[in-house]
Amino acid sequence: MLGRILCIGAGAMGGAILRGALEKGVITSNELLVTVRTEEHARTLEEELGISVTTPLPDWKTDGFDTILLAVKPQVLPHVLVNLKEIPPHTTCISIAAGITLHTLESALPQADWYRAMPNMPAAVGAGMTALAAGQNASLEVTEQVQALFSAIGQVEVVSEMDLDRLGALSGAGPGYAFLMMDALADAGVRIGLPRALAIKAAAQTLLGAGMMATKTGTHPAILRDQVTSPGGTTIAGILAMEKGGLRSAIHDGIIACYERSNELGKS
């Protein structure tokens, strides 16, 4: 088991992980301590989740914890790592900070068993996609437990670190692309006469439904596309217009640009 857990940081993503894991019973409140920056945030989490929350630990007393979840931003993580120098050997440490490599993490705290996780925004509604990469000291047993933790907020894939960074450009940033497409679909609906609220609802439900069809059937998206495009029909006319506008190549270019930027940040 992950044992006694210390969660450092509980913003949007950290909070989503805690809510999902507590709701699904993957962790319990009596084996969890959360530390956040402000007393106001601490009180809010205590009232909402019924857990123990504190502001930064006095003198960073971290003994007694089997697992440490580092749910802080990349620019904050180096400061946190400095204060964790005395953690016991084989403490399971999980970082969700984008761009901070396993090599960097293991160099900072070589005694820890490291994992990198990259969940995405829909984790907040239990529909996330998390890429999980294990460090050199990780065991199969603990990896399965960490995987179960993130399964509480959606789908999880254990991958190489290179694929974790690639998935960051696809699924990590993907909700941003989806919201952009959703907004464009809704705008087009308004242009042809739909009320704004109805256009947004239809666009959101359409993207949700298409995603569910792909995941539940396991059918290649090109085949699903063919199933909805009748010969000489309306859908193929719309697809042709979008392809002429460069939709497919624009999506390709966007994901590549995101991946390259992530690599730049990781190096810096």
- 210 marked among binding-site residues: no
Query: Is 74 marked as binding a ligand?
Result: yes
Query: Is 9 annotated as belonging to a binding site?
Result: yes
For the chain, report the end-to-end CA distance as a whole number of angstroms: 35
Count of CB atoms situated within 10 Å of the CB of 230: 10
Ligand-binding annotation for 242, yes or no, is no
Other Cβ atoms closer than 10 A to 90: 13
Is 61 annotated for ligand binding?
Answer: no
8 in a labelled binding site: yes
The answer to the question of whether 182 is labelled as a binding residue is no
Question: Is 13 known as a binding-site position?
Answer: yes
**Binding site as annotated, residues for NADP(+):** 8-13, 71-74
**Binding site as annotated, residues:** 8-13, 71-74
